[in-house]
Amino acid sequence: MFRIASIAFIIFLKFAIPVAIVFSPFIAGWANFVLDTIDGDMLIPLGLADSTYQPIDKIADWATYIGMVFAAWRLKWGIRKWIYGLFAFRSIGQLAFLLTGDERLLFFFPNFLEPLFLVYATIFFFKKASEFLTFEFYLKHKWAIWIFVVLYKMQDEYLTHIANIDRSDAIKGLINKLF
């Protein structure tokens, strides 16, 4: 009973946090990032089959992207057109993956939306929710931001969807070798 309740609670969070992103982009955005990073390491050991986890994870990811789109729209962010375009681009990859099960499609339709959103939400948070100051900062540093977003996400998509490296296992293996 504990396992089922734990699985249900984690899945609930995977769909509830994206709603919170609309109202608190920085806090809920980063909470979602952390949960999405560790959820598989919790759900699969609790007994959720990987074949069940993958579609749930991708649908929850899509809910996150919708929350990001609404946050950018609600706050009238200067990058909202980029957010909309990256949402459409990744949605094509998500749908293609769900229809075919071919994980490589997620590499070819990388999720640039999430890291760009998180960077912008972080700037927005530290600029005290001033869209003018946030967008000004973004424009001044857009090349560095985009280089970071593309490099981070392409290595992440490659490791996750092409090389299929489980980073948790790799980190545990590295720690075991060191100690």
pLDDT of residue 165: 82
114 pLDDT more than 80: yes
Question: What's the rounded Cα separation, in Å, for the pair 32 and 26?
Answer: 10
pTM of the shown model: 0.91
Rg (CA), the chain: 17
- For the residues 13-40, what does the mean pLDDT come to? 96
Reported confidence tier of residue 178, pLDDT bands at 50, 70, 90:
confident
- State the average pLDDT for the chain: 93
139 pLDDT more than 90: yes
pLDDT of residue 134: 96
pLDDT of residue 128: 94
- For the residues 67-89, what does the mean pLDDT come to? 97
Among residues of the chain, what percentage have pLDDT more than 90? 80
- For the residues 105-119, what does the mean pLDDT come to? 97
Reported confidence tier of residue 16, pLDDT bands at 50, 70, 90:
very high
Predicted confidence (pLDDT) per residue in 55-75, tens digit: 999 999 999 999 999 999 999
